[in-house]
Structure 1
Amino acid sequence: MKGLLIKDFKLMLMQKNFFIIIIVVACLISISSQDPTFMIGFITLILSLFTVSTISYDEFDNGYPFLLTLPFSRKTYVLEKYVYGLILGTGAWIVSVMICSLMLIVQGKPVTSDMLIGAFVILPMFLVIESLMIPVHLRFGGEKGRYALIACVGVLVVIGFVVMKIVEIFHIDVLPLILAIDALGPVMFMVILLMIGFLIMLVSLKVSLSIMNKKEF
């Protein structure tokens, strides 16, 4: 796995100018919009997309048959993508939180609890998005995977819309749920969201392993 991680990080370093541009753009947008959490979410989610880019690099020009002749299993390959995604996404999140906090201090503004809560909410979102992207790209490849991912996001949006409509039509009282979440407190709520995110990632890992084991090259 170490060799695969080194390979993917070397691929990432080839795009260092792109990452610098992303950080600069995110900082400028955050300053103009007065929304510090935007930068955290933008940098974290954009950089986490590079995980699926490495899958596209691996399959480019029929690269899988050669890659899988090296001394590692398909299981190791899939695990490495999740580990790489976690390292990249978490690292991007930490760096963006530090940059955001520094920007607020320079502007003479306090680092509020609302900003920190907003930042922590991005972590489970990143886990869910990563959990969706990896199996989709392993199953459909780089080109078709983009369309499949858009379709999956569309389905999730439709499901959310349908749920909202059901709540509205049947006059379901969501106030007890809101009060229960509020009673948990922000720390416990964040812990629960992270646990749900990691649980979804474990399910995604099982799916990805099944997809990779069935692939023929």
Structure 2
Amino acid sequence: MKGLLIKDFKLMLMQKNFFIIIIVVACLISISSQDPTFMIGFITFILSLFTVSTISYDEFDNGYPFLLTLPFSRKTYVLEKYVYGLILGTGAWIVSVMICSLMLIVQGKPVTSDMLIGAFVILPMFLVIESLMIPVHLRFGGEKGRYALIACVGVLVVIGFVVMKIVEIFHIDVLPLILAIDALGPVIFMMILLMIGFLVMLVSLKVSLSIMNKKEF
């Protein structure tokens, strides 16, 4: 796995100028919009996309048959993508939180609890998105994977819309649920969200392993 991680990080370093531009753009937008959490989410999600880019690199020009002749299993390959995604996404999140906090301090503004809560909410969202992207790209490849990912997001949006309509039509009282969540406190609520995110990632890992084991090259 170490060799695969080195390979993917070297691929990432080839696009270091792109990442620098992303960070600069995120900083400028955050300053102009007065929304520090935007930068955290923007940088985290953009850099996490590079995980699926490495999958596209691997399959480019029929690269899988050669890659899988190397001394590692398909399981190791899939695990590496998740580990790489976690390292990249979490690292991007930490760096963006540090930059955001530094920007607020330079501007003479306090680092508020609301900003920190908003930042922590991004982590489980990142886990879920990463969990969706990897199996989709492993199953459909780079080109078709983009369309499949858009379709998956569309399905999730439709499901959310349907749930909202059901709540509205049947006059379901969601206030007790909101009060129960509020009673948990932000720390426990964040921990629950993180646990859900990791559970989703475990399910995604199982799906990805199944997809990879069934692939023929």
TM-score by length of 2: 1.00
Q: Counterparts of 2:71 and 2:210 in 1: how far apart (Å)?
A: 20
Match of 1:25 in 2: 25
Deviation at 1:102, TM superposition (A): 0.1
Match of 1:144 in 2: 144
Match of 2:4 in 1: 4
Number of equivalent positions? 217
Q: Counterparts of 2:93 and 2:121 in 1: how far apart (Å)?
A: 11
Match of 2:108 in 1: 108
Unaligned stretches of 5+ residues in structure 1? none
Match of 1:80 in 2: 80
Deviation at 1:116, TM superposition (A): 0.0
Q: Counterparts of 1:47 and 1:177 in 2: how far apart (Å)?
A: 34
Provide Cα deviations, 1:129-169, integer angstroms capped at 9, x if missing partner: 00000000000000000000000000000000000000000
For the pair 1:47 / 2:47, whether they are aligned, the reply is yes
Q: Counterparts of 2:15 and 2:156 in 1: how far apart (Å)?
A: 31
Deviation at 1:100, TM superposition (A): 0.1
Deviation at 1:27, TM superposition (A): 0.2
Provide Cα deviations, 1:82-128, integer angstroms capped at 9, x if missing partner: 00000000000000000000000000000000000000000000000
Q: Counterparts of 2:109 and 2:156 in 1: how far apart (Å)?
A: 37
Alignment identity in percent?
Answer: 98
Q: Counterparts of 1:164 and 1:28 in 2: how far apart (Å)?
A: 35
Runs of 4+ residues deviating >2 angstroms: none
Unaligned stretches of 5+ residues in structure 2? none
Provide Cα deviations, 1:153-195, integer angstroms capped at 9, x if missing partner: 0000000000000000000000000000000000000000000
Match of 2:66 in 1: 66
Deviation at 1:4, TM superposition (A): 0.1
Deviation at 1:5, TM superposition (A): 0.1
Q: Give SS of 1:61's match.
A: coil
Deviation at 1:24, TM superposition (A): 0.2
Q: Counterparts of 2:33 and 2:165 in 1: how far apart (Å)?
A: 31
Deviation at 1:41, TM superposition (A): 0.1
Deviation at 1:47, TM superposition (A): 0.1
Q: Counterparts of 1:5 and 1:203 in 2: how far apart (Å)?
A: 22
Q: Give SS of 2:108's match.
A: coil
C-alpha RMSD over aligned residues:
0.2
Deviation at 1:208, TM superposition (A): 0.1
Match of 1:15 in 2: 15
Q: Counterparts of 2:161 and 2:101 in 1: how far apart (Å)?
A: 35
Deviation at 1:68, TM superposition (A): 0.1
Deviation at 1:204, TM superposition (A): 0.1
Deviation at 1:20, TM superposition (A): 0.1
Deviation at 1:60, TM superposition (A): 0.1
Q: Counterparts of 2:162 and 2:112 in 1: how far apart (Å)?
A: 35
Provide Cα deviations, 1:30-72, integer angstroms capped at 9, x if missing partner: 0000000000000000000000000000000000000000000
Q: Give SS of 1:8's match.
A: helix
Q: Counterparts of 1:80 and 1:181 in 2: how far apart (Å)?
A: 35
TM-score by length of 1: 1.00
